[in-house]
Structure 1
Amino acid sequence: MLLIPIVVPLLTFLYNRDEPRLFGFPAFYWIQLLLILVGVVATAVVYRMTKRGRRP
């Protein structure tokens, strides 16, 4: 699961363009921000899944 936020940014053909624009920002910038959110979500999911097995 943690490989997703590592591998997807390496696929530059996904965001190596200017169009489409979102609120005036080129695709490169808003896709990079989206990839940050993907990394946060993936990390949170893995944290929650591994936390269940532990007892305080």
Structure 2
Amino acid sequence: MLWVGSYAKTDPTFIGIPFFYWYQMAWVVISTALTMTAYWLWQRDQRARKTQGGAGA
């Protein structure tokens, strides 16, 4: 995302939307999905640690 020259163009268009805009919005969706996945994995790990700690005491 830091190399703007790689995506600062109008072609190819997607449903009439220039490349620059749909590429940016695609990364918003991708980053949201990656963040949600990381959060779910973290929650699962926290639950597993809680049950392990309770069983051993």
Match of 1:45 in 2: 37
Q: Quote the Cα distance in structure 1 between the aligned partners of 2:14 and 2:45.
A: 41
Q: Which runs of 5+ in 2 are unaligned?
A: 51-57
Q: Extract structure 1 runs of 4+ deviating beyond 6 A.
A: none
Following TM superposition, by how much is the alpha carbon of 1:32 offset from its aligned partner in structure 2, in angstroms? 0.6
Please tell me the root mean square deviation across aligned C-alpha atoms, in Å.
1.5
Task: Tell me the TM-score normalized by structure 1.
Answer: 0.72
TM value normalised by structure 2:
0.71
> Of the two, which has the highest radius of gyration?
2
Percent identical: 27
Higher relative contact order (CA 8 A, sep 6+): 1
Q: Report the number of matched residues.
A: 48
User: Which structure shows the bigger proportion of residues in helix conformation?
Assistant: 2
Show structure 1 runs of 5+ residues with no match. 1-8
